[in-house]
A and B are shown apart, each in its own frame.
Chain A
Amino acid sequence: MALLETSKYSQGSVLGSVNPDLASERQTASFSVEKLTALLDGGVEQTRIRRAVVDAIESDPVFSRENQYFQTQNERYEAAVKKAVHLQKKMHEMGWTENGPEYKYIYRALSGDVAFLLHRVFMRSISMLGSDKQIAKWIPLATQHKLIGSYAQTELGHGTYLQGLETTAVFDTATQEFILNTPKISAMKWWPGDMGRSATHTVVFAQLYVHGKCYGIHPFIVQIRSLQDHSLCPGVTAGDIGPKMNFEHIDNGYLLLKNVRIPRENMLSKFCEVRPDGTYVRQGSQKINYFTMTSVRISLIADEVLTPLMKACTIAIRYSVVRRQSKLKPGEQEAKILDYQTQQEKVLPQLAAAYAFHFTNDYLQELFNRGYREIQRKNFDMLPELHALSSGFKAMITQHCTAGVEICLRACGGHGYSLLSGLPSLYTKILASCIYEGENTILLLQTARLISSTAAKLQDLIQSGVKKHDAWNQCTVQLVQAAKAHCHYIAVKNFAETVEKLETKAGIQKIMKHLCDLFALHGIFSNTGAFLHDGYTSAAQMDMVTASYLDLLAVIRKDAVPLVDAFDFTDKSLNSALGSYDGQAYQRLYEWAQKSPTNQMSPAYERYLKPLLHNTLSKL
C-alpha cells in the first residue's frame, strides 16, 4: 500500500517514482514480502484490518504529522489534544470499538502522537482496583469524557521503588474524608502524563494513615481541576514539568496537594477498605495487582519498543542502498554503502534482533494469555515466573532495541542527525522505555532474584559472614549479567523453535533461519568473553563463529530491503525524508528543509546581523 501512496510534493519532482537503486533490491527478493507481512501480523485477515485502520487514520488531515518536526512544545501539545478529541469522533464514524479487532492498530497508526493516553490507564486502574460501586460510578463518566483522568504514582524523589513514596492520605473519621498532602518537595507527584494541563481527575498513590498508623501505599481518586472552567481546585498546585527529550505532545505534570479533602468513597477499595469508623479491612488477593504491572510491561513491547526499532531499520536500510559513497572497485560507480561490510555489521544485526524480538513478543503474549486464564481460575502458580519474565524481557528488549535505534541513527551519518530523517525522534522516544514501567537495572535484578544462577556465589558470601543484604549488593553486577543472559537465551531458543515451525514454502523459512543464526552469532560475537570464559567455546571455535557471522552478513544483505519492506510501514508513518518507499532521499530532504520556519526571514538579521555586518556593534 505504500506503493500507492503519493506525496503532495510529487508534482514537478521525482518523488513517487522509485529510485532504481531501491527498485533493483526488490527484484531479487528470495521470498514473498506479502506473505512475510501476513506472518508478522498473524494472518492475512489481520493485515487487511491493520491496513484499513492505517488508511482511515492517514487519509484524515487532522491526524497528519507532516509539520511535527517544526512545531514547538505548545503546538505539539495542542495538536495532540485536538487529535485525541477527533479520535473519539473517528472511532464512532468508523464503527471501531475498544473491544473490536481494529482497536490495537489505532495507536500504531497514530504513531502514538495523541493525548489522553493516561486516561486509559486511569480507567484501567479503576476497573482493576475499584469496587463494583466505584466502577459503576466512574467508568461511564470517563468513557464519555465527562472527565479526563491521569495516573499519579511517580514522585520527584521516588520512582521504581514504590514503598518510598511520600504523599500522605490521612483518614478523618469526623468528616469521613481523606486529607491528602504533599509533605515535602520530594513528595511532589512528578512525570504523570496528561496531568500538567489536561486532566481533571487523577488516581493518586499515597501512604494511608488511619488513627496515626501507616498502612502503606493505596490509590485515591482526586479531582484536581474544575469541570466548569478547568481552573485548579483549592489546595491543588499542578503544571507541566518542562521540556523533555521527546513526548513534547504530552503534558507530563507535577502535582502538589495541600490539605485536599476527598470523600471516603474515593479510595479505590476492591482489595482494601477503610470503614467509616476507621477500621482497615483487607479483602481478596492483591496478587492480581502484580499481574497488572506485568501485563503493562509486556503490552508496551510491541508498540513502544519493537515498532521504533523496525522503523529505524527500515529507514537506515533503505537509505543505505540509496546512498553511494566511495568506490569498491576502481573505475566502477560508487558503491551503495550497504555493500560495505562495516555498514552491514551495524544495521543487519539490528534487523535480526527486530525479527527475533517480534517472535519473543508473540511467545510472551501467548504465555500471558495462558497465565491470565489460570488467574481467572484463581490459580496463581504462574505469577512468580510471569513476573520475573516480564521484568527481564522488558529490560533486555528495551535496552537492546534502544541501542539498535541509536546504531541505525549513527549509521545514517550526518543526515541521520537531521530531525527530518525521523531517527532522532524514534531514538528519544524509545529510550524513555528503558525507564518507565520500572527502571531496567532494577527489573533485571528482579529476574535475577528468581533465577539466581549466581546463587552459589551468594551462598559463599553469606557463609563468609557478610550480611545477606550486603552480599546481594556485592553481587548485583553479576546478577544483572546473568539475568540478561537468561533472557537472551530464551529469545534465541524461541526464535529457533519458531523457525522450525514455519512452512517451508515461499522462502520464508530459509531467510528466517538466516536471521535467527545471525541473531545468535551476533550475541556470541559481542560477548566473546563470556563464552570463552565459560570454556563453552574454544578459541578456534570462536574464529569460526566470527567467520560464519561475517559470511551471513553478506547473505542477508541481499534480502535486506525486502525484509524491511515486510514491516509494511507507510511513508506517513515513517515520516522520514531518508526512508520513504520510493528512495528519493535527497530530493525529499531538500524539499522538506525548505518548509522549515527558519527559512522565513528571521528577526535576527535586522536586530543583530545587520549592525554586526555594518560594523555598528557598539550600538548593540
Chain B
Amino acid sequence: MSVNADLRKERASATFQPALLTHILDGGPERTRRRKEIEALVLNDPDFQHEDLNFLSRSQRYEQAIRKSSLMVMKLREYGIADPEEIYWFKSFVHRGRPEPLDLHLGMFLPTLLTQATPEQQDRFFMPAWNLEIIGTYAQTEMGHGTHLRGLETTATYDPSTQEFILNSPTVTSIKWWPGGLGKTSNHAIVLAQLYTQGQCKGLHAFIVPIRQLGTHEPLPGITVGDIGPKFGYDEMDNGYLKMDNFRIPRENMLMKYAQVEPDGTYVKPVSDKLTYGTMVFIRSLIVGDSARSLSRACTIAIRYSAVRHQSELKPGEPEPQILDYQTQQYKLFPLLATAYAFNFVGAFIKDTYHRISGDISTGDLSELPELHALTAGLKAFTSWTANAGIEECRMACGGHGYSRCSGIPDIYVTFTPSCTYEGENTVMMLQTARFLMKSYTQMTSGQQVTGMVSYLNDLSRQRIQPQHVAARTVSVRINDPTSLVEAYKSRAARLVESAAKNLQAELNHRRSKEDAWNRTSVDLVRASEAHCHYVVVKLFAAKLAEVTDAAVRAVLTDLCLLYALFGISRNAGDFLQAGILTSAQITQVNQHVKELLAVIRPNAVALVDSFDFHDVHLGSVLGRYDGNVYENMFEWAKKSPLNKTQVHESFHKHLKPMQAKL
C-alpha cells in the first residue's frame, strides 16, 4: 500500500535530512549501518515471526518468548555477535523491546559470575551457564524489602561441621519476590542473604543456589518456587517467588572473590565496597537510555497519527484539519518530542562517561565515582518519571484509539513504568542525589571549592559577599539563547539546593535528630535534586548543539533545545519567579515564545520522529505505521481478536438464548 498523502506531504516539507539526525542519535553513520544490518538479520529471519502478541494469553506469550530466547542465544553465537551494544540491539529486535525470561541470566547472572566469582567458581559455573545447562537469575528483592537492601531478611547460616551454608526464608516478608526468570525458567539463582557465621551477622552476601533438579526441572527439596502471577505488563516474564527451608549449599557456593568465609567459619572482609557503584551506574545509565527510547517510540506513534487524523474544523467551510494543526495538540506533543531528544543525548553522555571512567575504576582510581553515582541516581529518577508521564500523555493525545492495544502505547507504558521502581525507587534515588548535594553545599559553605556538575554552588558563596540581597538582583536572561537559559536553570538549582540546606539546618536547630530533620525536609530535598537534574539535562542538550556540523540539523535541534528549556521554565515558573531569576514580564514572554516555537517546529515534526528510525515491527503500533494507513489496518487487526474467532460467540448459546427464552 502506498504511503498516506498527509505523511508524504509532511516528509516533503521537512527542512533537514532525517538520516543525518539518525546518525547523530546512533553515534555515527557506521553505527547506524551496523544497527540496520543487525535489524535486518532478525526481521528477515522466519524463526522470529509470530502472531501479534496482543492476542495471546500470558502463558502463550511466555512460551513465545522462551522459544525466541533459545533461538536468539544460538543465533548470536552463529553470527558471532559479541559486542554488548550489538547484542542489545539483536535482543531488542528479537523481543521487540519487551522483556524476556533470559534477561536476568544474560544481564545479571553471567556478569555477576564474571565479577564476583573466584576462578574456581568460574570453572564450575561459568561454562555450563554460558552453554545454558545452567540458567540463573539474580534473587535480591524480597516481598518485604526492595530498594532498602539492608532490610533483606533471607539468612545464610554457616555450619562448619558440614562446611555448608543453611539458607532460610524465616518470614513471609523474606520470600524472594519479583526476580525475572525465577518463576519457571531458572534452575539456579544468585541469592542475596544476610550471612551469619560464628554467631554474628556479617551483612548481605551473594550465594549460588541450585533451585531446580537438572533433568526434570522439578523444584529441589526445601525449595518452594513459582510465578508471582499477572502484572500490569511483563507478561512474557516469569517474575518469581522463592522460599527456602533449611536448604543447604556447599561453602564453595558463596561468591568469594571479595568477602570470604573460611572452612572454620572465619569471616574475611572485602577490600572496598565502592566497587559495586560501577555496576549500579551502568544499569542506571541503561534506564536513562530506555527512558529516551520509550518516550521516542511513544512520540513517533502520537505524532504520525496526529498527522493522519483529521477532525473538526478550524475555519468554517474548510476541510477538517490534521489534529496536529491544533495548538493544544502541539502543546501536548512537541515538548515531549524535545524531551525525547534531550534524554537521548543525556543517555549517550552517561554511557560515554561510564566507559571513560570504567578504565579508571579498573586501575583503582575511584575519585569520580561518588559524583557519577549521585548524578545517575538522580537522572535515572528524573528521566524515568518524565518519560512515564510523557508516554501517558502521548497515549491520551491519540484519543480513544490510543486506549486500544493496537496503538502500541499501552504496551510501551506498562513495560516502561516499572523502571520508576526497579533498580532503586525514584524518590529514594532523588534523596541519594540530595545527600550528595547537601554534602557539596556543606563543603562550599566551609570554604572549599566543589567541582563537577555541582560547581555552580561555588557561585552562591561568591554572591554572599555582595551586599545586595540576591533575590533583588536583576538577571539578564535572554530567552532566545540556550546558553543563557542554562544559566537560568543553574541559578534555580543553586537556589533550591540552598533553600533545602537551610530548611534542613532549621530543623536541626529545633534539636531534631538527624534522621527526623532529614525526613521533615525531604520534599524540599527532592525538589532540589529535580532542579539539579533538570539543569544537567538542559546543559547537556545545549552543549550537544555545538557538536552538530550540519547547519539544517543544528537549526532544528536548536529549536527543540529552546522549546525544552522554555517549556520547563513555563511549567516551573514559580521557582524562577520566587528566586527572582525571571520577572513576571519575562515569564509572559517565555509563555509566548513557547507557543511561537510550536508553530516553528510543526513542519518538521514528522521528520523529527522519522529520525528516531524505529522499524514498524519494533514500533508495534497500527497508529504509528510509517505508511500512515491507519484505519484499514485497524480493521484488519481487530478481525484477529480472540473474541472474533467464531461468528456467534458461545456466550450466546450458554447465557443469552436461555434468558430470552425465559423472559
Contact = CB atoms under 8 A, between A and B. Distances in A.
A70 B57 CA distance: 10
Contacts of B515: 327-330
Interface in B278-337: 309-312, 314-316, 320, 325-328, 331-332
Contacts of B471: 539
Contact of B63 (A191, A595, A608): A608
Interface stretch (A53-61, A267-275, A370-378, A529-537): A529-537
Interface string A230-251: 1110000001111111000001
Contact of A146 (B59, B131, B584, B660): B660
B656 interface: yes
A477 B73 CA distance: 50
A197 interface: yes
B314 A419 contact: no
Interface residues of A, number: 132
A82 B650 CA distance: 12
Contacts of B410: 244-245, 428
B209 interface: no
A197 B651 contact: yes
Interface string A590-602: 1011111111001
A617 B184 CA distance: 19
A254 B638 contact: yes
Contacts of B148: 325-326, 334
Contacts of A418: 228-232
A552 interface: no
Contacts of B73: 612, 617
Interface in B137-175: 141, 143-148, 150-151, 172-173, 175
Nearest to B397: A441
B480 interface: no
A28 B483 CA distance: 55
Given A239-B644, A251-B643, A593-B226, A604 B175 contact: no
A327 to B, nearest CB: 7
Contacts of B660: 145-146, 227
Interface in A138-153: 144-146, 148
Given A70-B230, A480-B328, A528-B573, A608 B144 contact: no
A376 to B, nearest CB: 33
B89 interface: no
B217 A605 contact: yes
Interface stretch (A43-51, A171-179, A292-300, A467-475): A467-475
Contacts of B626: none
B184 A604 contact: yes
B635 interface: yes
Nearest to B135: A613
A70 B229 contact: yes
Interface stretch (A158-166, A493-501, A507-515): A158-166
Contacts of A346: 427
A265 B656 CA distance: 27
B269 interface: no
Contact of B57 (A72, A419, A432): A72
Interface string B372-403: 00000000000000000000100010011011
A439 interface: yes
Interface in B642-662: 642-644, 647-652, 654-660
A533 B577 contact: yes
A590 B62 contact: no
Interface stretch (A101-109, A208-216, A409-417): A409-417
Among the interface residues B229, B571, B644, which one has the most CB atoms of the partner chain A within 10 A? B229
Interface string A63-86: 000000110111001100110010
Contacts of A41: none
A196 B663 contact: no
Interface stretch (A4-12, A309-317, A337-345, A381-389): A337-345
A198 B655 CA distance: 11
A477 B331 contact: yes
A609 interface: yes
Given A329-B515, A420-B229, A617-B70, A586 B144 contact: yes
Contacts, number: 369
B642 A477 contact: no
Interface in A530-574: 530-533, 535, 539, 542-543, 550
A156 B656 contact: no
Nearest to A239: B644
Nearest to B422: A414
Given A244-B404, A529-B570, A603-B63, A609 B217 contact: yes
Contacts of B521: 341
B420 A410 contact: yes
A529 B59 contact: no
A531 B519 CA distance: 27
A254 B638 CA distance: 9
B637 A342 contact: no
Interface string B569-587: 0111111111010001001
Interface string B539-551: 0000000000000
A436 B399 CA distance: 9
Contacts of A77: 643, 649, 651
Interface in B224-249: 226-233, 238, 241
A326 B151 contact: yes
B228 A604 contact: no
B595 interface: yes
Main secondary structure on B side of the interface with A: helix
Interface residues of B, number: 130
A586 B146 CA distance: 14
Nearest to A547: B503
B655 A82 contact: yes
A586 B172 contact: yes
Given A243-B54, A528-B575, A146 B663 contact: yes
A491 B633 CA distance: 43
A533 B584 contact: yes
Given A159-B400, A230-B648, A239-B641, A528 B172 contact: no
Nearest to A339: B519
Contacts of A88: 659, 663
A159 B355 CA distance: 50
A493 B429 CA distance: 38
A406 interface: yes
A434 B312 contact: no
Contacts of A1: none
B663 A145 contact: yes
Contacts of A258: none
A565 B144 CA distance: 24
Interface string B454-479: 00000000000000000100000000
Nearest to A427: B232
Contact of B229 (A154, A157, A419, A441): A419
A572 to B, nearest CB: 18
B70 A476 contact: no
B522 interface: yes
Nearest to B68: A608
Nearest to B579: A539
A617 B67 CA distance: 10
A156 B652 contact: no
Contacts of A145: 659-660, 663
Interface string A83-103: 001001000000000000000
Nearest to B77: A617
A394 to B, nearest CB: 15
B327 A476 contact: yes
Contact of B519 (A239, A341, A612): A341
28 contacts: A72-B57, A73-B641, A77-B649, A81-B654, A159-B399, A161-B312, A197-B643, A231-B647, A243-B404, A251-B643, A325-B148, A417-B421, A419-B230, A419-B231, A431-B396, A476-B327, A477-B327, A528-B575, A532-B577, A533-B584, A539-B580, A593-B241, A604-B66, A604-B184, A612-B66, A612-B132, A617-B74, A618-B74
Which 10 pairs across A and B sit closest by C-beta, in order of nearness?
A528-B574, A529-B573, A240-B643, A596-B229, A242-B641, A424-B232, A598-B227, A161-B312, A532-B577, A529-B574
